[in-house]
Structures are given as structure tokens and as C-alpha cells.
């Protein structure tokens, strides 16, 4: 296929060529792969680089990047190898004389520390830079070890700060080795944040200092370019619909009973942690980290104890399961509570009248119950599944956001997405939506349904996603390339 770039694509490619360190914040559907590959081809022709390592989510490294190279006429002479699979298969791919090596992010520690293969890539592209937001993760530390050997580095993402500005530290630390936001997380916190929620000498969450966001923007804007799909593409309309389901009295009683029992277990677990950790028995309820702030106590629950992040996550996880209609017991059995979301899903499938419908699920018991009710549902896992979906051979498909949320092109297969179970992760939420709402979607409207159980944690998750999205949008807006004087403006 002939590549006729949009003006913004030409701009982004040139930005990569002009900046050895580049953060490309491309909203989903803007063609970040072909933009980057076009820059890579130009750099190879100029002999400025010899070998390129592309680090991406597994399915994106295995399927999407090879597909992009084969798709465009001007890229077909690029050689590549895919380093996934067994250790021997990865080693064979890494030792090929290909210009581009594609590897999944989980294998970065193995590549750097265990493979025994010298790091010989002078340019590194990190597809989904936000997956390196944890400065303590093995993948981050491994890549930092070989960062001095990279002449060029490009970070690609549409969600640079899915959980707030704290995420930016590790991402930019990896890109510029700490030049802009510093080399130490403690100093970054001290410079730009204030304690938000804390207890017993421990800070659970942080908030930005007044004006800190603008200061962060100024620090990073010289190597950052951001774009919004709605500004540069004729995108289909995206319609969000909340489908509220309601439990009957018996189901509500079961839900409330299990919720109260779980709450008591968490309180008891936290009380034990208090005794063991010397918390001095202070009586303050605090939501800690991991996207669960604000979800711990329902209205009317007295703040009795400090609840740590681990137990908060357990409680929120269980409440989410129950909102979906079932929950894992301590014996790893599935306790069914209600089928209200299954009933609503049945209505949506029937209303689709044979038109393709994609379901996003979160828990294994969710998809088990979905397939028990609807045997025709096919879970999209393999490359064959994705191809069949895009070819229109699957009427009802299902994906898990954690494994299919990034980089996959599913827009050819349908335009309706149903969230059976919601996720706290803004990144996975936006990325999953973008499998259908993206460039190349032929339908005039993409419809995204949220199945929401009334009076449950579902409502809080939706609100949390909205709150985080405001922070996300402000970051992208602040460094938008079209707002800078002297740059191309649409």
C-alpha cells in the first residue's frame, strides 16, 4: 500500500529525525508505528543508525509491527526479526542480521542480564512508554543499564500519565537519563508534589503542588510532541452509553452481606498489620495507591482503622467481581450472585442483530459465565482470531484489556464495544476503546457500552476514570505541538 502521510505524520517523523531523544505522545489511531518506521528508514539510509530494537507488548511486537512493515510499500525492504517465544527462539532472532529486532517488554531483563548477547542496538523504540512508569520494575532497571549505549531513543504512548503525574518520572528518566525531571524519585516528589493522604508516618498518595504541572510541562516540552486524533483525523463519532442494571432484593442482600464480611476481613487484616507494623492504633481510614483511592469505605461506614494498599486492593477487587455477578471464594470456587449483566448483554447482542459486537471482560469467571450463556462468543487471543474478527467471520468476540488493549487493529471487524467488567486503569480503558475507535474505522459511529451495576463499586470506577482523564488531557494539551509558536499548525 502506498503511504501518503497526513501533515501531522510528516511533522512527527521529522521530529524524531531532529531529536535523538523523543517522546511522541500520539493518541490512539494516529499511526505511531508507520510514523516511527518512516523515520527509522530515513536514519538507516543516512547511516546514522545500524540496528534498532523495538520494545512493545507481546502481541504488538509479534503481530502489529511486522504487519505495519509488510503493509506499506516504502517499508518493505526493511528487514526484521521477532524475538519472542522460547529462549532458543529468542536467541536465534536476536543474532540475525536484521535491521530491526522486535521484542516484548517482559523479556527485557532476560535480554540484558541473561541472554549473553551483547547489547548492539544503537536506537531503541519503546512502544507504550507508559509500561515503563515504575522505576522499581525489573524491565526499567534492565533498560537503564544499557541506556548509555543508545544513540537514539523514542518513547511512544497515547497515555503518558494514566495514574497521574508521578508516572512521568520513570518514563522521562529512561528517555533523557534524568536531565529534565531529575534522577531520583524522592527529589522529584519534593520538587513537584505534596503529601495528600497519609497516616502513621507513611504517605499513601501525593498531590501536585500549585503550578507544578506547568513547570513539568516546561521541563519536558523540548523533547515532547503530542497530538490528538480528533484534531487531525476525521474520526467517527464515539458514543458512550451507561447501561445500568439493578439487583433484586435477594441479590442485593447477598451482595451487601458478602461486602460486609469482606470489609470486616480487611479491617481485621489491617488491624493485625497495625500491631505488627507499629501503627499505634490510629483511627483513620486511608485509601492507598494502586488506583483504589476513594473506594474503600461506602457511605455510612465509620473510619475505624488504617487500611493499607494491599488490603484495599483486595477489597476493591472483590467488590468489582461481585458487581459483575460472581466472586471467587477462599476455596477458589465461584459464588454466583446475580446474572443482571448477562441479561443486559443478551439484550445488546440481540439488538446488534448479527452485527459484530466486542466484549471487554476482566475476570476469568466473567468470560466463563459469558460463554456458558453465549457459546458463540469467541475469545480473541491468537493472530488467527484477530484476522477472523477483522474479516467479519466473528459475530461476538471477547478480549481481555491487559492482553489485547495495546496496538491491535480491530476496527475492521466492528464498531460496538461492551465493557462487561470495568478496569481502574485509565491506560487499559483508553487503549481498549481505541481498538475500535481509531483511524480506519469505516462506521460513522463507534458505540461503547458500560454495564454498570447500580449501587456498587462500578459507579466509583467510572468516576475515577473520568477524573484521571482530566489530568491526562491537561498534560497532552499543555505540550501539544500545534500550540507552539513556529511549529506547523493545523
Inside any domain, residue 112: yes
Ordered per-residue pLDDT tens for the chain, 490 residues: 899 998 888 989 999 999 999 999 876 667 889 999 999 999 999 999 999 999 998 878 988 899 899 989 999 999 999 999 999 999 999 999 999 999 999 999 999 999 999 999 999 999 989 889 999 999 999 999 999 999 999 999 877 776 678 889 999 999 999 999 999 999 999 999 998 888 777 887 888 899 998 899 899 989 998 866 556 556 777 878 888 898 989 888 888 887 777 766 655 655 555 444 332 222 222 233 333 333 333 334 433 333 344 566 777 888 889 899 998 877 778 888 899 999 899 988 887 777 889 999 999 999 999 999 999 999 998 888 888 988 889 999 999 988 765 556 788 778 889 999 998 888 888 888 888 887 777 777 788 899 999 989 899 888 888 877 665 565 555 555 433 433 433 3
In a domain, 415, yes or no: yes
Strand order in the sheet with 357-360: 237-245, 445-453, 416-419, 357-360, 396-399, 378-379
Q: Quick one: 356 and 317 in the same domain? A: no
Clarify whether residues 174 and 196 are in a common domain. Answer: yes
In a domain, 1, yes or no: no
**Does 242 share its domain with 115?**
no
Rounded CA separation 102/89 (Å): 13
Shared domain check, 446 and 353: yes
Q: How many CA atoms lie within 13 A of 173 on its CB side?
A: 22
Residues 286 and 194 in one domain: no
Same domain, 292 and 370: no
CATH value at residue 154: 3.40.50.10810
**212 in the same domain as 102:** yes
Domain region containing 389 = 237-246+339-461
Residues 352 and 332 in one domain: no
* Rounded-to-10 torsion of CA 399, 404, 408, 412: 10
Contact 16, 216 (CB under 8 A): no
Q: Are residues 86 and 183 in the same domain?
A: yes
476, part of any domain: no
Question: Angle 212-220/185-192 helices, nearest 10 degrees?
Answer: 130
Q: pTM for this structure?
A: 0.60
Shared domain check, 81 and 98: yes
Query: Is 162 contained in some domain?
Result: yes
**Does a structural domain hold residue 61?**
yes
112 with 193, same domain: the answer is yes
Residues 188 and 45 in one domain: yes
Is residue 403 within 8 A of residue 63, CB to CB? The reply is no
Pairing assessment for the beta strands 326-328 and 334-336 based on DSSP bridges: antiparallel
Q: How many folded domains does the chain comprise?
A: 3
99: closest CA among 84, 87, 81, 86? 81
Amino acid at each position: 500500500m502506498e503511504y501518503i502521510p497526513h501533515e501531522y505524520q510528516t511533522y512527527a517523523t521529522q521530529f524524531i529525525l531532529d531529536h535523538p531523544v523523543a517522546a511522541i505522545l500520539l493518541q490512539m489511531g494516529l499511526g505511531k508505528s508507520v510514523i516511527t518506521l518512516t523515520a527509522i528508514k530515513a536514519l538507516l539510509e543516512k547511516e546514522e543508525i545500524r540496528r534498532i530494537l523495538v520494545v512493545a507488548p507481546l502481541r504488538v511486537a509479534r503481530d502489529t509491527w511486522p504487519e505495519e512493515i509488510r503493509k506499506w510499500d516504502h517499508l518493505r525492504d526493511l528487514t526484521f526479526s521477532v524475538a519472542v517465544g522460547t529462549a532458543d527462539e529468542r536467541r536465534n532472532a536476536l543474532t540475525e542480521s536484521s535491521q530491526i529486532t522486535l521484542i516484548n517488554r517482559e523479556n527485557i531483563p532476560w535480554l540484558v542480564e541473561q541472554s549473553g548477547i551483547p547489547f548492539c542496538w544503537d536506537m531503541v523504540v519503546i512502544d507504550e512508554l507508559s509500561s515503563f512508569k515504575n522505576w522499581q520494575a525489573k524491565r526499567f532497571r534492565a533498560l537503564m543499564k544499557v541506556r548509555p549505549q543508545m544513540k537514539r531513543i523514542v518513547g511512544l504512548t497515547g497515555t503518558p500519565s494514566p495514574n497521574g503525574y508521578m508516572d512521568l518520572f520513570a518514563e522521562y528518566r529512561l528517555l533523557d537519563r534524568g536531565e529534565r525531571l531529575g534522577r531520583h524519585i524522592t527529589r522529584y516528589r519534593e520538587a513537584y508534589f505534596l503529601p495528600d493522604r497519609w497516616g502513621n508516618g507513611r504517605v499513601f498518595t501525593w498531590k501536585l503542588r500549585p503550578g507544578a504541572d506547568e513547570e513539568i510541562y516546561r521541563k519536558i516540552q523540548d523533547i515532547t510532541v503530542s497530538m490528538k486524533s480528533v484534531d487531525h483525523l476525521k474520526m467517527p463519532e464515539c458514543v458512550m452509553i451507561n447501561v445500568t442494571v439493578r439487583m433484586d432484593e435477594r441479590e442485593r442482600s447477598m451482595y451487601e452481606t458478602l461486602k460486609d464480611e469482606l470489609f470486616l476481613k480487611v479491617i481485621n487484616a489491617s488491624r493485625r498489620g497495625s500491631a505488627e507494623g507499629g501503627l499505634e492504633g490510629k483511627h483513620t481510614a486511608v485509601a492507598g495507591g494502586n488506583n483504589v483511592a476513594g473506594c474503600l469505605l461506602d457511605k455510612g461506614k465509620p473510619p475505624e482503622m488504617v487500611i493499607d494498599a494491599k488490603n484495599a486492593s483486595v477489597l476493591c477487587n472483590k467488590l468489582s467481581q461481585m458487581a459483575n455477578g460472581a466472586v471467587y471464594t477462599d476455596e477458589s470456587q465461584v459464588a454466583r450472585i446475580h446474572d443482571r449483566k448477562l441479561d443486559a448483554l443478551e439484550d445488546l447482542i440481540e439488538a446488534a442483530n448479527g452485527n459484530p459486537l466486542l466484549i471487554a471482560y476482566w475476570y476469568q469467571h466473567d468470560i466463563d459465565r459469558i460463554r456458558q450463556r453465549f457459546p458463540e462468543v469467541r475469545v480473541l487471543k491468537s493472530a488467527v482470531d484477530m484476522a477472523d474478527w477483522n474479516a467479519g467471520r466473528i459475530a461476538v468476540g471477547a478480549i481481555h484489556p491487559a492482553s489485547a488493549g495495546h496496538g491491535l487493529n480491530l476496527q475492521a471487524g466492528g464498531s460496538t464495544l461492551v465493557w462487561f467488567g470495568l478496569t481502574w486503569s485509565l491506560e487499559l480503558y483508553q487503549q481498549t476503546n481505541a481498538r475500535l475507535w481509531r483511524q480506519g474505522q469505516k462506521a460513522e459511529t463507534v458505540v461503547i457500552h458500560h454495564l454498570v451495576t447500580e449501587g456498587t463499586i462500578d459507579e466509583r470506577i467510572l468516576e475515577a476514570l473520568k477524573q484521571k482523564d482530566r489530568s491526562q488531557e491537561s498534560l497532552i494539551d499543555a505540550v501539544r505541538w500545534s500550540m507552539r509558536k513556529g511549529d506547523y499548525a493545523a
